[in-house]
Amino acid sequence: MTDAATAAISPAVRSLTLLSGNLLAGGIGRSRSEVRVTDLMDIAAKIRPDVFAAQECLYFDENDHRLFHQAEELLGMRGVLGISPRTRMHTAVFVRAPLRIAEHRVYSGGIWHHSVTHAVVVWDAHDGVPAGRLRVASVHLSPRNPTRRLLEIAELTDYGAASEPAVLLGDTNTEDEHTDLSGASRDMLVRYARLGTRIPDTAPIDLLRSAGISDLADPKTDALAFAIPREPPARTTGHWPGKQVAGRPDRILANAPAAAAVTEFAVVTAARHLTDHDWPCARLNPAALAMR
């Protein structure tokens, strides 16, 4: 996608751009004193996603959703916010007109450390583009508990069996097989390695694969027409000061109907001075997502 990742997308939705972004404590921090949120939204707005799945929308619900509505205005998009009652690190899905959210639901509490915001995104036929429909989830899995993470991901495997196109975007807090844990601390190993080893625990993503869901950046994904996969895929964490491991927790995952519509994939690094996660970005052909 290179520089095209920041190019404007036609209002006719000739190409559908999906972006996932972890905001690092909402761009305001637990102290509420950091001032990164406006710059984060400005960078996302320049990319002009049609669907933006955001994680760590910390305190976006406070004061009548003030920060959430500010994000909508800065992005030029409208969305839904999924409350994470345990951590306040909410998840969100934003869409750009002519797309709209026809329905949504939130998984939170219980087994969920943060939350997952599910949305059904639709658009009407216009300018030669057929009406379409896409199931979307903004996902943020448990950062510390591998057992909880596996329970969480099991609740999302139904996306693989869906007959309509469906995508999962977000921070899976799961490393891939290429992640180097040789220098990781004991705490990091407990979080991300197979028990008693320094081998990355890939079980959650393996479970999604077995359910028919593809990781768009992974070389093990079935061959897709849009690119020759990198070996290994680009890391999305590790650039932030104090981070021990350069890993790839941030993913865009798609079921078979959605994967067949993908034309490009990239990792956007423009916000890495503002957050500890780079942002995966994909483009889909909306004609391949037509309602049938």
Q: Tens digits of per-residue pLDDT, 48-71?
A: 999 999 999 999 999 999 999 999
In this structure, what is the dihedral angle of CA atoms 27, 246, 50, 89, given to the nearest 10 degrees? -40
Tell me if 268 sits within 8 A of 47, measured CB to CB. Answer: yes
Q: What is the pTM of this model?
A: 0.93
Look-up: residue for tokens 């197979």? 194
Domains and their CATH numbers in the chain:
2-289 (3.60.10.10)
| Residue spans of alpha helices (H) in the chain | 37-47, 62-75, 146-154, 158-161, 186-192, 203-210, 256-259
pLDDT (0 to 100) of residue 96: 97
Residues 6+ apart with CB under 8 A from 234: 217, 248, 267, 278
pLDDT in tens, the chain (292 residues): 444 344 433 344 578 999 999 999 999 999 999 999 999 999 999 999 999 999 999 999 999 999 999 999 999 999 999 999 999 999 999 999 999 999 999 999 999 999 999 999 999 988 778 899 999 999 999 999 999 999 999 999 999 999 999 999 999 999 999 999 999 999 999 999 999 999 999 999 999 999 999 999 986 665 555 555 567 899 999 999 988 899 999 999 999 999 999 999 999 999 999 999 999 999 999 988 887 6
